[in-house]
Structure 1
Amino acid sequence: MTQPRPAAEPNDKAAADLEAAWTRLAAAQAAALATLDRRHRTAAASALADFAAEAKAFRHAADRAVRDFALRVVPERYEAAARAAAASINRPFSWTPAHRATLQALTADTYTDLSLRVQEAARVAAAFHRAVRAAARRSFTPTSAAQLAAAHPLDRVVYRNGARMPVRAWAEAATLARTAVAYNAGTLSVAREHGIPHVEVTDGADCGWTSHPDPDKAARTVRTVEDAAQWPIAHPRCARAFGLRPDAEVGIGPTPTV
């Protein structure tokens, strides 16, 4: 087996672009609240208009970053893995219909997954805009500003269960996971293309197969292609990668390498 390249690769551009989009949105929110706190109605109206414009710009900028990552970076990682896997068995790589179909599904899934966080931020921004407009018609206090900011967090990535994460940390973890999945999918597609039923796993020494604490350790084991496709990674920031094992005997379950 040829030693596989690392599957996971952070994408600094995507992470930086997403962080910048969120940062501008959070700054516009702070500016709107500061203006309202000074009780200048004309300035408050202007600040709300500015916020609405920034919210629209956020959606476009964040969507552009997600789309670029899904349509440019994911295919690059898939192709890099597929070419390396084909070369490891002295075969050429070409974009067959099966490869194209697999990549199309990967890019669509990546775009949808990352867009969920963008859509949630846009929803919170719209709710904040409505809440501030309503608050501006009433007596506004510093406490009101703090309450509005707490109820409509725009400086973090917020999940529907209420969990919050710094934007850069989320973006780096999300792009790492997606590049790993894409890279490993490229390897597994070549395995299927050439009728190779097993792959050898490269992973952290302590990483389990289905989750990090899983007692079934992943590193230096031989798995079926179907099992590997089910668990291309075990957790965020997983270092898992696969190498083709055309010489492995057909069996059931993991097989430690020798």
Structure 2
Amino acid sequence: MSTPTQQTRDDRSELTTLITAAVLELTRQWNRLTVAQDRLLRTLERIRPGLGATTRINSYITAFHHEVGEFDRLTRAVAERWAAQDLPTAYRDGALRALRRANRDITLFRWTADHQAALTGLTSIFYVDLVARIQEAVRRAQAFARAAQEATRTVTLGRNHAGIDAPRLAADHPLSTVVYSDQARHPVKDWARSALTYQGAVTANHGAINTARLELEAEWMQVRDGDECGWTGHQDTDHADGTIRSIDDCAAYPVAHHGCVRELIPRPDLNGRRGLVSGDPA
């Protein structure tokens, strides 16, 4: 029979497997953009003034836009599958892990209307976040296509006999990166791993929190976290590990930051304990 620690590792490995598969698929589909970009640039580099040059350029640009459309369709499918299948699995596994850690029967968890509503709220937010990144990538790819077409136009008009500057176009329009709000560019795989790990952890911990509240009527939860992790953020001096937190506080901070390893354990045995304050040591 597995120990609680072994079971927790097994639960987390299931979530890790979901995340890894989704990250690989997102990265694979994103690679479609970079391959199409490289192919277009190599082709346009060979364009010289002459009869039919404009027609050929337009056909190459059209082929690139087709690949962008396929990227849009296939990455949206990944996002839909993540929201419709993988995140519900993460939520359920978080709920079952919480019951195991509280030494309660896992059959207590059911997909009640409350759980379904909570999950719907999470998945809708996370799905919109992913689609926004996909839309941004499509816009950037379209901007690259316009720039490439304009660059080759000067060649076909005979104003640039050296041909297009493909390295410059690629550097100005790097389709293999995701742009963050601070304008920093990150490789797609790094962004996907960070985003999906965060979404999976938040969803799983909300499964634990809601199960503690609804099935166990728990008012408190015990926190396991990284040794130096703060409650509201990594630099928070209010360290989270080994503390007791109110269930409302846990709902507000299911994780502290991207990459957070926080685990929340129901403590219904603490209900009604006088003098207990959120943040007290367990």
Structure 1 length as normaliser, TM-score?
Answer: 0.91
Q: Give 1:39's aligned residue.
A: 47
Q: Give 1:23's aligned residue.
A: 31
Q: Give 2:104's aligned residue.
A: 90
Taking every aligned residue pair, what percent have the same amino acid on both sides? 36
Report whether the alignment pairs 1:133 with 2:158.
Answer: no
**Larger relative contact order (CA 8 Å, sep ≥ 6):** 1
Given that 2:176 and 2:188 are in contact with CA atoms closer than 8 Å, whether structure 1 keeps it comes out as yes
Which of 104, 108, 114 lines up with 2:130 in the alignment? 114
Which of 18, 22, 25 lines up with 1:14 in the alignment? 22
Measured after TM superposition, the shift of residue 30 of structure 1 is 1.4
Which of 180, 184, 204 lines up with 1:159 in the alignment? 180
The more displaced of 35-44 and 110-119 is 35-44
Equivalent pairs counted in the alignment come to 256
Q: Deviations over 1:132-186 (max 9, x none)?
A: 2222211355663233222222011223542111111111111111110011001
**Counterpart code for 2:193:** E
Structure 2 length as normaliser, TM-score?
Answer: 0.84
The more displaced of 136-145 and 105-114 is 136-145
> Which has more radius of gyration?
2
RMSD over aligned Cα atoms: 2.1
Measured after TM superposition, the shift of residue 56 of structure 1 is 0.3
**Counterpart code for 2:195:** A
Q: 1:143 to 1:159 in 2, by over 3 A?
A: farther
SS of the aligned residue for 2:264 comes to: strand
The more displaced of 238-247 and 207-216 is 207-216
Which of 174, 188, 207 lines up with 2:195 in the alignment? 174
The more displaced of 215-224 and 44-53 is 44-53
- Which 4+ runs in 1 deviate beyond 4 A? 140-143
Q: Give 1:124's aligned residue.
A: 140
Q: Give 1:65's aligned residue.
A: 78
Given that 1:66 and 1:114 are in contact with CA atoms closer than 8 Å, whether structure 2 keeps it comes out as yes
**Counterpart code for 1:134:** E
Given that 2:29 and 2:75 are in contact with CA atoms closer than 8 Å, whether structure 1 keeps it comes out as yes
Report whether the alignment pairs 1:78 with 2:91.
Answer: yes
Query: Equivalents in 1 of 2:222, 2:238: separation in Å?
Result: 15
Q: Give 1:199's aligned residue.
A: 221
Query: Equivalents in 1 of 2:164, 2:170: separation in Å?
Result: 10
Measured after TM superposition, the shift of residue 246 of structure 1 is 1.1
**Counterpart code for 2:132:** L
